Every structure is written in structure tokens, then in C-alpha cells.
Amino acid sequence: MWDISTWAWVTIPLAYIYFRHQRRVMRHNEIMRIGGAASGSDTENARLRDEVRALKERIAVLERIATEDAPAKALDREIEKLR
């Protein structure tokens, strides 16, 4: 009743499921190990947040400068006067 092909049909899928689970566990452990080591201290996180905030403010200023029409037109008029 239980020949070798029957055992193969049972053990191969079970082995696949087992090794797939082990691979997921190993990947999870690796992510947790790297994530735990890479997560900085609270002071470093605060410093990085401040830096991001400052960069966003600088970008906002640059966007405002780039989109203002009046200074660009005034600069064009001054250049034309100098020619």
C-alpha cells in the first residue's frame, strides 16, 4: 500500500514547506539583527529630523525663488538696459 512513490509525494512537499519556513525565519532574524544594529540612538534620530526639517525649509525657499516672476522680469530689464 505505501510504496516509495507515495512517500515521495508526502515527504517532498513537507520538506519544501519546512525549508521555506526556515529560510523565512533566517531572513527575519537577519533583518532584525541589521535593523537593531542600524537603528541609532534617540539623539541621532533627533539630529537627523532637524537636518531633514532644515533641508525642507531650504527647498521651500529655492522653490519660492524659482517661481517668482517679478525679480526675473526686473533682472531681464536690467540686463537689457546694460546692452
pLDDT single digits (tens) 14-71: 999 999 999 999 998 888 887 655 556 778 888 889 999 999 998 888 777 777 777 6
d(CA 59, CA 69): 18
Kindly state whether residue 58 falls inside one of the protein's structural domains: yes
Kindly state whether residue 10 falls inside one of the protein's structural domains: no
Cell of 53: 526639517
> What is the extent of the structural domain holding 47?
20-82
Kindly state whether residue 7 falls inside one of the protein's structural domains: no
Kindly state whether residue 5 falls inside one of the protein's structural domains: no
Kindly state whether residue 13 falls inside one of the protein's structural domains: no
Cell of 35: 535593523
Kindly state whether residue 9 falls inside one of the protein's structural domains: no
Domain count, the chain: 1
The predicted pLDDT at position 5 comes to: 78
Cell of 3: 510504496
| CA dist list (Å): 34 to 40, 42, 49, 56 | 12, 17, 21, 29
Amino acid in the structure at residue 59: I
- Decide: pTM greater than 0.85: no
Kindly state whether residue 37 falls inside one of the protein's structural domains: yes
The predicted pLDDT at position 17 comes to: 92
Secondary structure E strands in 13-53: none
